[in-house]
Amino acid sequence: MTKKILSISLLILVLASTHQLYAQSDTPPAPKHEFRSVWVPTVAAAQDWPTFSYPATEEGIRNLIRNLKNRGQNAVVLQVVGRGDALYPSERLPWVRQITGTYGGDPGWDPLAVAIDEAHRLGMEFHAWYNVFRIGDSTLIEELDEGPNHVLYENPEWVRSDPGAANQLWLDAGIPDARAWAVGNVLEIVRNYDIDAIHFDFIRYPTSGFASDFDTKALYNPKNIIPTAEWRRDNVTEFNRAVYDSVMQIRPRVKVGSTPVGHYKLSNGWAFLSGYNSVYQDSRGWLREGVNDYIAPQLYWDIGDVSPPRFDWLVRDWMGETYDRHVYIGTGPYQPHIRAELPVQIDTARVNNAAGQVHFRFASVGAGRPFDNRYDQPAIIPPMPWKDMTAPASPVNLIASWPGAGGTELTLTWEAPDFGRGDAEPARYAVYRIPVSDNEITSEHLDDPANLIMVTGETTFTDTPDMTVPGYDYFVTALSHNNVESEPAGAGVNTSAEDERYLVRNFSLDQNYPNPFNPATTIRFTLDDAGYTRIRIFDQLGRLVAEPLSDSRSAGTHTVSFNASHLASGVYIYRLEFGDRQLTRKMMLVK
């Protein structure tokens, strides 16, 4: 946008924005687009929910997610399948024991549904964390007692013990039926819940595989892969291929992501566990092949060279092979020395152009200020260009309400736009606030991450603007499920009046935006009283061609979306009619 927008009062618009990273000599500023989340485990060994502070109740899980939102996170990664069991009512898996204390015990409510609802209400994505091939440990055998329908008893021929840790039980990735069963579990979630992503962990073999692999490979090797290590890697990748293809057929907007071992291959002289060689996890191959939309490698090391491998070296290594997919850097603040340098690790991820960060785990960052000020500014999750890049229509009927003299809170309200006529479904909304100093704004103000003040799933937002500033411009955009932003919608109010800080009381019709347009545009107008209102569109011969509004409206500023896909290119006249008063302007449709 090159056109300047005149602002007489507190202008509220919606504008699409683009990522911009500013150069600074010290700490890099927070970008406008960035994935931010925290792993929330639910298995008892490292359990973040339920706990004493966040009990096994609806309010308990909602409070935990609110804590994440208050700490600047824009996504929830909650473990919903930990050890072959489910945090939701499943026809395929038994209930987890963490809620009722008994495997298979029904708590009488659905934690996954509640968590998704709270995340979406707050404008956050929900990523369902699924542990794929690790399905239990030796205590599971005693606790289950052949009760609920756990895979250990339903299909024991698929289950193996970890030769390096005999108490661990694993699903054998080399058995096609076992992989198909795991895919079916994922699809049950995708079909039944409005998740934004499925997030895989333990998507690998145990270290060095299984002793029984010789027999399994003899039975299940349709590609006749000779090296056993390569066969194992292909088995894990086959699971990814099957999942991705199936999810895209059922709900293509759902993202598929994984959190692999942080050390991809033996490199730089560091003899640490290698995802590729030790646990047969070709995570970069998943990106290259396009069967993962993102990965979040677990880089649980520090920046210094005291305990290699070095975090900063590994970040650069991962960012060198993204294959144009998203890489979110996983950090390990569960370790005190990592928590102490967490802000610098976030800076390192940003400087190296990572698409975001994920931190392990909630218990390590849910109190204090472990991020320092790195997440004080909200961010929008980056869109994925290989997915649907259709923008939603603009929010409608956006109104700013000011309580009057002495008031401190300004409330914005709007309505969700219609969709289904070529527009994407709105999933959440972004709110911007810009101090007015020269009565005009440009696209540079709207691209500045400092002006983004909230991302929400609701259609209202209350702000407490600084009363020492003469006035503000507010902007609100609708975001698609892929976080693509809409065109503008707006309303206005003035906080700078000396004695009356009231809703603006003028009758006006603004120039449509964008103009010229194709095929949709937004018309903004202000009423000084409530009453029946019409917006009508005429061609140059005076013929009525459309009537986008014919309804009662309250006093204040409103927006109306107009789609001219059925009209030919040309100049049109739009007219605001209110009582015996009329205002007209021209707009240009260019196809």
| 378 located within any domain | no
Res 534: pLDDT? 95
- Does the pLDDT value for residue 45 go beyond 50? yes
Q: Are residues 510 and 489 in the same domain?
A: no
How far apart CA 370 and CA 429 sit, in angstroms, is 27
The mean per-residue pLDDT over the stretch 253-262 comes to 97
Please identify which residue in the block is written with the tokens 């006035």: 471
Alpha helices in 251-323, H assignment, sequence order? 283-289, 311-319
| 488 located within any domain | yes
| 384 located within any domain | no
Q: What letter would DSSP give residue 418?
A: P
How far apart CA 494 and CA 14 sit, in angstroms, is 18
Q: Are residues 171 and 199 in the same domain?
A: yes
- Does the pLDDT value for residue 590 go beyond 80? yes
Which residue type does 518 have? N
pLDDT tens profile 536-583? 999 988 899 999 999 998 877 788 889 999 999 999 999 999 988 888
| 528 located within any domain | yes
How far apart CA 299 and CA 317 sit, in angstroms, is 11
Strand ranges inside 194-342, DSSP E: 197-201, 255-258, 294-295, 326-331
Q: Are residues 340 and 229 in the same domain?
A: yes
Residue 433: pLDDT band with limits 50, 70, 90: confident
- Does the pLDDT value for residue 528 go beyond 80? no
Q: What value does the mean pLDDT of the chain take?
A: 87
Q: Domain end: 463, 496, 529, which one?
A: 496
The mean per-residue pLDDT over the stretch 105-134 comes to 97
Closest CA to 185 of 114, 238, 258, 247: 247
**41-45, 223-227, 402-406, 495-499: least confident range:** 495-499
Which residue type does 580 have? D
Query: Is the model more confident about 113 or about 22?
Result: 113
**What are the structure tokens assigned to 520, written together?**
């949709």
Q: Are residues 321 and 418 in the same domain?
A: no
**Total number of domains constituting the chain:** 3
Q: Are residues 563 and 583 in the same domain?
A: yes
**CA count, 13 A, side-chain hemisphere, 459:** 13
**159-163, 222-226, 296-300: least confident range:** 159-163
Res 316: pLDDT? 95
- Does the pLDDT value for residue 319 go beyond 60? yes
The mean per-residue pLDDT over the stretch 249-264 comes to 97
- Does the pLDDT value for residue 505 go beyond 90? no
Domain that holds residue 409: 1-19+396-496
**168-177, 223-232, 240-249, 264-273: least confident range:** 264-273
CATH code at position 3: 2.60.40.10
The mean per-residue pLDDT over the stretch 193-206 comes to 98
Range picked from 23-27, 142-146, 289-293 for highest mean pLDDT: 289-293
Residue 439: pLDDT band with limits 50, 70, 90: low
| pTM metric for this prediction | 0.83
Residue 337, CA distances (Å) to 84, 138, 301, 332, 334 in order: 33, 32, 9, 9, 9
| 390 located within any domain | no
Alpha helices in 358-473, H assignment, sequence order? 362-365, 443-447
Q: Are residues 460 and 533 in the same domain?
A: no
Q: Are residues 478 and 510 in the same domain?
A: no
Q: Are residues 309 and 445 in the same domain?
A: no
DSSP three-state, residue 198: strand
Residue 142: pLDDT band with limits 50, 70, 90: low
| 387 located within any domain | no
Residue 317, CA distances (Å) to 204, 267, 293, 413, 512 in order: 21, 10, 19, 45, 48
Res 141: pLDDT? 63
Q: Domain end: 342, 365, 388, which one?
A: 365
Percent of the chain with pLDDT over 70: 86
Q: Is 178 exposed, middle or buried (0-12, 13-18, 19+ CB in 10 A)?
A: buried
Residue 501: pLDDT band with limits 50, 70, 90: very low
Q: Are residues 95 and 55 in the same domain?
A: yes
Q: Are residues 449 and 565 in the same domain?
A: no
Residue 498: pLDDT band with limits 50, 70, 90: very low
Q: Are residues 300 and 185 in the same domain?
A: yes
Res 502: pLDDT? 37
- Does the pLDDT value for residue 494 go beyond 70? no
| 80 located within any domain | yes
Res 132: pLDDT? 98
Residue 438: pLDDT band with limits 50, 70, 90: low
Q: Are residues 488 and 547 in the same domain?
A: no
How far apart CA 541 and CA 573 sit, in angstroms, is 10
| 44 located within any domain | yes
The mean per-residue pLDDT over the stretch 154-162 comes to 92
Query: Is the model more confident about 14 or about 444?
Result: 444
**CA count, 13 A, side-chain hemisphere, 225:** 17
Q: Domain end: 350, 365, 380, which one?
A: 365
- Does the pLDDT value for residue 215 go beyond 70? yes
